[in-house]
A and B are shown apart, each in its own frame.
Chain A
Amino acid sequence: MMLEIKDLRAKIGEKEIIKGLNLNLEKGKVHAIMGPNGAGKSTLSKTIVGHYEVEVTGGDILFKGESIVDMEPEERALKGIFMSFQNPVEVPGVTNAYFLRTAVNAKREYEGKEPLNAAEFLRMAREYAKLLGMKPEMLNRSLNVGFSGGEKKRNEILQMLMLDPDLIILDEIDSGLDIDALKAVSEGINKIKSPEKTFLIITHYSRILEYVKPDYIHILKDGKVVKTGGYELVKKLEAEGYKAIEEEQ
């Protein structure tokens, strides 16, 4: 099992949002989480990566069998957890290339590997940027500063490819993307798919799931997983909405 979430409870401020959530993410599988607004989808992803606003009040999260709830965010990242942000922040004055190289070499150091030199890094970064339809000069721009919504999402996927994580959480990666950007992002995701990787795709829409086929669909409501099924659940949701799922409960 890549990730086991056991009876997880978490709050932001005084508000409990995750209320006894159980979820297992299998190695090599693509899991999608869907749910109405306010169900706790984004809080769940923030909890897994260790956001400073989230306080875990109960339960546990095991990554490859090891509890991560007390780990710093960077430790979780170095162990192989990656989340693409719904709204990636802008960091003025820090070039995309410098940031990426620092991140890649931090991971390589953690894994006991030699750091990438500038030439090796650039060759790799340019190759992935091309795959994603990104102009090479975007590597020299300040991190996410002045990027369009689509460029920011492509840049998230570029980071994912460069860091080669094991658990990949994509938080609304498809929101605000036009069809070309969606295809490019999906291509990036499919490039890294392997029996060693696990995906957790958080989305409101079925669009991305047509390009990255999920093995499991989990419906989240009021801080809990209320239904798990296959791709057919997406079709049911599209036809009948969340109300139909609620009525089945």
Chain B
Amino acid sequence: MRELVLSKMDLNSILNLSTKDKTKATAAVALSHLGLPSKKTEHYRYFDITQLLSKNLNLYQPVAQKADQNEKLVIEDGAIASFPSDLKIDVKDEIDIDKEHFDQIYYINHIITPNVITIEIDKDIELEVVHRFSKDGVILPYRLGIAVKNGAKVTLYEDFEDKNIKESLIFYGWDISLEKDSYFELVRVQNELKRSYSMVASHFVKADESSEFSIKSFDIGEGKICHNLKVDLLKDAKCDAKHLVYTDKEAVRANVIKINHKGKNAKTEQNARHVLKDKSRAIFDALIKVEHSGIGASAHQNNKSILLNDKAYMISKPQLEIYIDELEASHGSTTGQIDPEEVFYLRTRGINEEEAKKMIVLGFMREIIEEVKDEEKKDEIMRRFEEIYNIDLIE
């Protein structure tokens, strides 16, 4: 392993890590236009990327290992550890990537990742993906690509496990390609309770004609984790994005999402809920951009946040950028304490103040959890939120 301190490297030395293959060359060109991320980079303004990049860490490059067959796809330290037997999975040097991603780490990750785990799906399936981390003090870069073929319907449950590692920085992300009439639902739960690693995950979704991309992300607990997601919607494509974030202690959790309406009649529905405790910080930086070609668009986004402490800090930036005259659009954001009138109402029915507040906060979170269709998964996610909230609210 070689030591890598990204903050000490200039653009050229990062570009020199790139090989000649097409993906890395494309990434290098795009990165050379964007430059390196800094404190002035708008989407990292509240995340302090420079502090993460200034750590003395060793570059760990995932090593292909003999993979077992299992009902779940397990990615261990960036390499396939097991996978379902009927899954078309491969490791490739080159994949098509986005040439206009807003995030520098998206390209850095592609440059320093040796190869990409790719999955091709041409039938209706549910897939569970578990990411496991066991390396201390490393930068671990890896990436996954998924191509959903015409008309296929896919639900992917994504989870993360770690062995209480220390000070590692993980770069990973999905490049998702949805062909015509396909449906892809990503249910991501990131339950980080020990602050053992930091992560910047940069994703790209290309949703072709009449396809639908649905993301339900659940961020729980501590850690310094940023997900940068860019979605391109072509004609009649849909994006349904739901986000629930519960942070505590000194967590910093960011969701930076840019959804581009490139084709006619595309639709976006985006709802986020944040609950922040202690000195934690959450960032919801979401832009829906309707381009000149995006006529007939429907774009709605909303974020509601509850601050449980005076020191919790919410940065909420829902934004619409619209280049056409007629469309259906709305956006809104509220941040505040628990509504005292709601608490009072419950107390007048004999429910004590603490229980009333817990009930209200869990109800607030439940609105997003209810969006998960699978009842077992829904209960599991609810249980994780209850555990950290230290209350049994199973009916």
Min CB gap A240→B, angstroms: 36
Q: Give the residue of B359, B365, B370 whose beta carbon is less than 8 angstroms from that of A99.
A: B359
Q: What 1/0 flags go to B350-368 for Cβ under 8 Å of A?
A: 1111010001101111110
Separation of A93 and B364 alpha carbons in the complex (Å): 6
- How far, in whole Å, are A72 and B347 apart by their CA atoms in the complex? 8
Chain B residues lying within 8 Å of A143, measured Cβ to Cβ, are 363
Determine if A74 and B352 form an interchain contact, defined as CB atoms under 8 angstroms apart. yes
A163 with B350, Cβ < 8 A, contacts A93-B364, A142-B363 known: yes
**A contacts with B, residue count (CB < 8 A):** 33
Residues B346 and A91 in contact, CB atoms below 8 Å apart? yes
Cβ of B365: which chain A residues have Cβ within 8 Å of it?
A: 93
Q: Choose among A72, A99, A106, A110 the residue that contacts B353 (Cβ–Cβ < 8 A).
A: A72
Whether B321 sits at the interface, judged by CB under 8 Å, is no
Q: Measured between C-beta atoms, what is the minimum distance from A241 to chain B in Å? A: 33
* Binary interface encoding of chain A residues 51-91 relative to chain B, with 1 for a CB under 8 A from any of its CBs, else 0: 11000000000000000000011101110001101001101
Q: How far is the CB of A8 from chain B (nearest CB, A)?
A: 19
- Find A106's partner among B341, B351, B366, B395 (CB 8 Å cutoff): B351
Closest to A143 in B: B363
A166 CB, nearest partner CB in chain B, Å: 13
Residues of A within 8 A of B340 (CB): 52
* Residues of chain A lying within 8 A (CB to CB) of residue B367: 92-93
Q: Contact: A83 with B341, CB < 8 Å?
A: no
Q: Is B42 an interface residue (CB 8 A)?
A: no
- Chain A residues, Cβ within 8 Å of B363: 91-94, 142-143
A95 contacts chain B at the CB level, 8 A cutoff: yes
Cβ-based interface call for B342 (8 A)? yes
Contact status of A106 and B350, CB under 8 A, knowing A93-B363, A93-B364, A93-B365: yes
Q: When each residue 22-60 of chain A gets 1 if its CB lies under 8 Å from chain B and 0 otherwise, what string results?
A: 000000000000000000000000000111100000000
Question: With a CB–CB cut-off of 8 A, which chain B residues contact A102?
Answer: 351, 355, 359
* Pick from A83, A93, A95: contact of B348, CB under 8 Å: A83
In the bound complex, do residue B344 and residue A94 qualify as a contact, i.e. CB atoms below 8 Å apart?
no
A55 to B289, CA, bound (A): 50
Q: A94-B363, A102-B359, A142-B363 are in contact. Are A74 and B347 (CB under 8 A)?
A: yes
Give Cα A83–Cα B345 distance, bound, in whole angstroms. Answer: 10
Within the complex, the shortest CB–CB distance from A119 to chain B, in Å, comes to: 13
* A159 lies within 8 A of chain B by Cβ: yes
Q: Is B325 an interface residue (CB 8 A)?
A: no
Q: Give the size range of B's interface with the partner.
A: 20 to 34
Whether the pair B342, A77 counts as a contact (CB closer than 8 A) is no
Q: Known contacts being A89-B339, A92-B367, is A74 close to B351, with CB within 8 Å?
A: yes
Give B307-358 interface residues, CB cut-off 8 Å to A.
339-342, 344-353, 355
Residues of A within 8 A of B353 (CB): 72, 74
By a CB distance below 8 angstroms, the chain B residues around A51 are 344
Closest B residue to A49 by beta carbon equals B348
Interface pair B349/A159, CB less than 8 Å apart: yes
Residues of A within 8 A of B349 (CB): 74, 77, 99, 103, 106, 159, 163
**Which listed residue, B345, B352, B366, B393, touches A89 by the CB 8 Å rule?**
B345
Say whether A92 contacts B364, CB under 8 Å.
yes
At the interface, yes or no: A107 with Cβ under 8 Å from chain B? yes
CA distance A248 to B363 in the complex (A): 53
Taking the nearest CB of chain B, how far is it from the CB of A44, in angstroms?
15
With CB as the reference atom, state the residue of chain A lying closest to B370. Answer: A93
Q: Given A51-B344, A89-B341, A102-B355, check contact A74 B350 (CB 8 Å).
A: yes
Return B72 CB to nearest CB of chain A, in Å.
30
| Residue A98 CB within 8 A of the other chain | yes
Complex: A61 Cα to B251 Cα, angstroms: 47
Considering the chains assembled together, what is the distance between the CA atoms of A106 and B348 in angstroms?
A: 12
Contact of A103 among B342, B351, B362 (CB under 8 A): B351
Complex interface: chain A residues within 8 A of B348 (CB): 49-50, 73-74, 76-77, 82-83
Quick one: given A72-B353, A99-B359, are A88 and B347 in contact (CB under 8 Å)? no
> What are the 6 closest A-B residue pairs judged by CB atoms, nearest first?
A93-B363, A94-B363, A93-B366, A103-B349, A77-B350, A73-B347
The chain B residues found within 8 Å of chain A, CB to CB, are 339-342, 344-353, 355, 359-360, 362-367, 370, 393, 395
Other than the known A51-B344, A82-B348, A93-B367, what 6 A-B pairs have Cβ atoms closer than 8 Å?
A74-B351, A89-B341, A94-B360, A99-B349, A106-B355, A159-B349
Sample (16) of A-B pairs whose CB atoms are under 8 Å apart: A74-B347, A74-B349, A74-B353, A77-B347, A77-B349, A85-B345, A89-B339, A89-B341, A91-B360, A93-B364, A93-B370, A94-B362, A94-B363, A103-B350, A106-B351, A107-B350
- Chain A residues with CB under 8 Å of chain B are 49-52, 72-74, 76-78, 82-83, 85, 88-89, 91-95, 97-99, 102-103, 106-107, 110, 118, 142-143, 159, 163
